Every structure is written in C-alpha cells, then in structure tokens.
Amino acid sequence: MKDPITISITGAAGQIGYALLFRIASGAMFGVDQPVSLRLIEIEPGMKALAGVVMELDDCAFPLLHSIEATSDLNVGFTGANWALLVGSVPRGPGMERKDLLQVNGKIFTNQGQAIAANAANDIRTLVVGNPCNTNALIAMNNASGVPKERFFAMTRLDENRAKSQLAAKAGCHHSEVSNLCIWGNHSATQYPDFIHAKIKGQPVTNVISDGAWLEGEFISQVQQRGAAIIQARGASSAASAANGVVDTVRSLTTPTPKGDWTSVAVCSDGAYGIEKDLIASMPIRTEDGKSWDVVRDLEIDPFSQSKIDITVKELCEERAAVKDLIKVDS
C-alpha cells in the first residue's frame, strides 16, 4: 500500500464540500490504490455541521480513507498538505458590490496563503474554487511566500465540461467525443469558451457545427450563464458538478494529458498569448508527467477570439487592481 497523501479542504461542510469529500475518500481523485488523509477546515459556525459530515465519512468505512482531522485552525488544517482545495468563501450578500466581495474574500485568502506557506508539505499544490476564484488564487499565491507560483490554480474545469456538453448536444454526439476545449480568462460571465480550437471526433467544431451564429452567440452565453441557470432551476448553486470539476482538475494535473489534447485551468500567466504576466488566467495546459505542466503555446488566435480574450483579461486586471493592497504588486 502507498503512503497516504494529505488533502486539506476549506469550506468542507458546504454544498460542494458535501459532494466532494466522499469522492476523494472513495478514490475518484487520486486513484483506487492511493490512501488519503483529509484535513477539513471550516469557520467556527460550520464546525457542528462538519462534525456530522465526519460522522458520515466514518460510516462509509472507505478502505482508502486513512485519517480525518476537522478544524477551524488554519495552521492545523494545512499541516503536511500535499493538496489544498480552497472551496470555502463568503458569498455575495444583499447590497454587496463586487469590490466589497473581493476585499472580504481577499482577507480570507491572505491568511490561507500564509498558513499554506507555513505548514504544508514541500510539494503542495493549491486549487482555488471559492469565488472570485481567479483573484482569490492570486491573493493566496502572493501571500504564500516560498511556494512556487506554478503550484497555484483556479478552477475553470466545470466551465470546460459545460462547454463540451453544450457542443455535444448541438452536434448530436457524446461529450467524450469533444476535445481541445479551452476556457480563457476569468471564471465569470466574461470567460471565453474557445470553440475555434475545439474538436469533435478529431474534426474542428466549425466543420461539424455549421451554425456559426449559434457558436458565436448562444453557445458562448449559455456557458457563461450556466451557473445562473442552475441557481434558477435548482434554487441553489452548482454543487455536485462543481465537485466533479474539482475531481477532474486534480486528476488532469496529476496524470499525463492525452496526446494532442489539453485541459483548462487558471494558472499564473508568464505572458503567454499576451495575457498580462502574473495574472491567474485560464488557458490551455498540458502535463506530460502529472507533476509539472506547461501552457500549450502554439495556438493561432483569430480576431474574434482575441476580442473575447481581451474582455476577460481586462476584467482580471480590474479585479487585481481592486485588491492591490493584498498582493503587494503594482497594478
């Protein structure tokens, strides 16, 4: 049996946490031969519900679940973490502006970045899910002194999966036949689901779906607005599909990317595709060994795509400017 790996999860008693923990413990994230130790982090008011979640995890008697620690102390929560999944954040309240939300959450991710730097394992990788996830990841990264920037990610995989599903439905094929789908930019309503480079059964999407107006219009807005549509239908935001996006993201970063394909995740920009350096922006990435990753750098960007990428990158710059006091860089 392998040694257990340690996964710290914030917001563990929330909706996404409830859909996520059981899948990690069952082996869906790291494989069916990899034991896991869970460190579950909540704020004080969430600790009672978290105790109930821990009871349910116990009651599953998962063979791979090595240990569970439930805590509201960040230093305890991130001790020895190989992966930190930052799911918890404060939702936007009535009358709260985006700028207020950025500030409130910014403080949370400042503390979490510092606690990760002080307590996690040397190979720590951090995936931020809690919104606004790109900018929260930017703040955590800038406050995690000594942790390499390429170990910070923000989740856009749910958006990628949503886009694949929409394209498959339009083309009348199975979603597994859609590949090379990249989400660019921010996990927000400005994101750009890139259908130009996407493929269906190995063919360019634009050869398979002839309805260009749908691709340029309804397709993009449906992917951008999918979260809102789910809230309207379900009366609550995406949880199981978001948890599935977390599982898919971590699996994609820890296993080699299939030949010729790529995956979407927001990473620290090194200036690729003219995206401003050090923003956490979604782009196409590949990993050959399941450890290091690189941006797929040779895609030709047409003027339509460029105009969409410019919009979402501009929003990321604005978000960064709104939290510049928390990240100690000029913006």
Q: Active-site positions?
A: 187
Task: Give residues 24-43 in contact with ligand NAX (rule: CB under 6 A).
Answer: 41-43
- Dihedral Cα 8, 13, 16, 21, nearest 10 deg: 50
Q: What is the three-class DSSP state of 110?
A: helix
CB nearer ligand NAX, residue 37 or residue 191: 191
Stretch that binds ligand NAX, among 5-13, 54-62, 116-124, 290-298 (CB under 6 A): 5-13
C-alpha angle 104-105-106 in degrees, rounded to nearest 5: 90
Phi-psi region of 216 (alpha: psi -120 to 50; beta: other; left: phi over 0): alpha
Rg over alpha carbons for the chain, rounded to the nearest Å, is 19
CB nearer ligand NAX, residue 7 or residue 41: 41
Among 129, 140, 183, 327, binds ligand NAX (CB under 6 A): 129
User: What are the structure tokens assigned to 139, written together?
Assistant: 């703040």
User: If binding is defined by CB under 6 A, does position 8 make contact with ligand NAX?
Assistant: no
Task: Look at residues 75, 86, 80 and name the one whose alpha carbon lies nearest to residue 139.
Answer: 86
User: If binding is defined by CB under 6 A, does position 158 make contact with ligand NAX?
Assistant: yes
Among 138, 147, 155, 183, binds ligand NAX (CB under 6 A): 155
Task: Give residues 304-323 in contact with ligand NAX (rule: CB under 6 A).
Answer: none
User: If binding is defined by CB under 6 A, does position 113 make contact with ligand NAX?
Assistant: no
Q: What is the Cα–Cα distance from 145 to 115, expressed in whole angstroms?
A: 10
Stretch that binds ligand NAX, among 25-33, 89-97, 118-126, 311-319 (CB under 6 A): 89-97
Stretch that binds ligand NAX, among 62-70, 94-102, 126-134, 279-287 (CB under 6 A): 126-134
CB nearer ligand NAX, residue 142 or residue 208: 142
Q: What's at 127, amino acid-wise? A: L
Neighbouring C-alpha atoms within 13 Å toward the C-beta of 52: 7
- Spatial contact of 49 and 13, defined as CB atoms under 8 Å apart: yes
User: What are the structure tokens assigned to 202, written together?
Assistant: 């190995």
The residues of the shown chain that bind ligand NAX, judged by CB under 6 A, are 10-11, 13-17, 41-43, 46, 87-91, 108, 129-131, 133, 155, 158, 187, 227, 237-239, 242, 245
